[in-house]
Amino acid sequence: MPVPDVMFCAQQIHVPPELPNIMKQFTKAAIRTQPRDILQWSYGYFSALSNGEPLPVKERVEMMVATQKNDSGLTPGLLKVLHKQLSKKETLSIQELQIKWKNLCLPVEQLHNLLRLDNFADGVSWMKFFALGCSALGGSLLSSMKQACEILTDDPEGGPARIPYDTFAFLYSYLAGLDEEMPQQEAESFLSALKEQVARKDYMVGVADFSVNRMD
């Protein structure tokens, strides 16, 4: 027998009362994040929402800077999103990282290039990968550490961008260790001097606490 036609009227369609607010927040998130692939990003957004996970949403719209050739790669805002999503795990699988990376519509080639900089065969140490992301954004050790401070800080925008000394020391030591031109003794001397400098500040390191001459 043929399936009878079903007539729907407004009274028959149930719209959950929370749906308008969900769609409003989704629209605002899409405007702030401006994903290259709205369908892929939407999949990641609603997957995270349904699982109670941090959403793939930037805090604000990012403007391109003069050094960026295009807006298709990693940005400070997107690295901050990844940090919120993945930092709860000290070590994660490459597959987990790939999924979050893809849902932010980031180039797969850039991810592969970053992963090649270290041996992550037994899993990805998030803070090491975070450091590599900062190096991709910064270009130099100084700029990379500034990016790290500005992304990780709890200070308000425009503030000193402070982070704990131990976190700074870990990121700095890791990136310095990958730099073949950076003597280990020089890196250790810098951190020792910095530790003494910030001891009076509850061991918090801000961007103003280090200079070009001492790091590069």
| Nearest partner of 147 among 162, 165, 135, judged by Cα | 135
Regarding whether 177 and 145 lie in a shared domain, the answer is: yes
- Domain assignment present for residue 164? The answer is yes
Regarding whether 202 and 153 lie in a shared domain, the answer is: yes
Regarding whether 185 and 121 lie in a shared domain, the answer is: no
Domain that holds residue 79: 48-57+72-126
For the record, the structure tokens of 74 come out as: 């990693």
Regarding whether 111 and 166 lie in a shared domain, the answer is: no
36-83 pLDDT, tens digit each? 999 999 999 999 999 999 999 999 999 765 444 445 699 999 999 999
Query: Is the Cβ–Cβ distance between 31 and 58 less than 8 Å?
Result: no
Residue-averaged pLDDT of the chain = 89
> Which whole number is the average pLDDT over 183-193?
92
Regarding whether 117 and 83 lie in a shared domain, the answer is: yes
The amino acid at 150: E
Regarding whether 113 and 89 lie in a shared domain, the answer is: yes
Regarding whether 216 and 149 lie in a shared domain, the answer is: yes
Regarding whether 211 and 144 lie in a shared domain, the answer is: yes
Q: What is the pLDDT of residue 216?
A: 47
Regarding whether 117 and 52 lie in a shared domain, the answer is: yes
| Nearest partner of 215 among 153, 171, 167, judged by Cα | 171
Count the domains in the chain: 2
- Domain assignment present for residue 2? The answer is no
The amino acid at 49: L
Dihedral pair phi/psi, residue 91, rounded to 5°: -130, 135
Regarding whether 190 and 166 lie in a shared domain, the answer is: yes
Query: Is the Cβ–Cβ distance between 114 and 129 less than 8 Å?
Result: yes
* Percent of the chain whose pLDDT exceeds 90: 74
Among the residue ranges 88-92, 128-132, 138-142, 165-169, the one predicted with the least confidence is 138-142
Regarding whether 156 and 85 lie in a shared domain, the answer is: no
The amino acid at 201: K
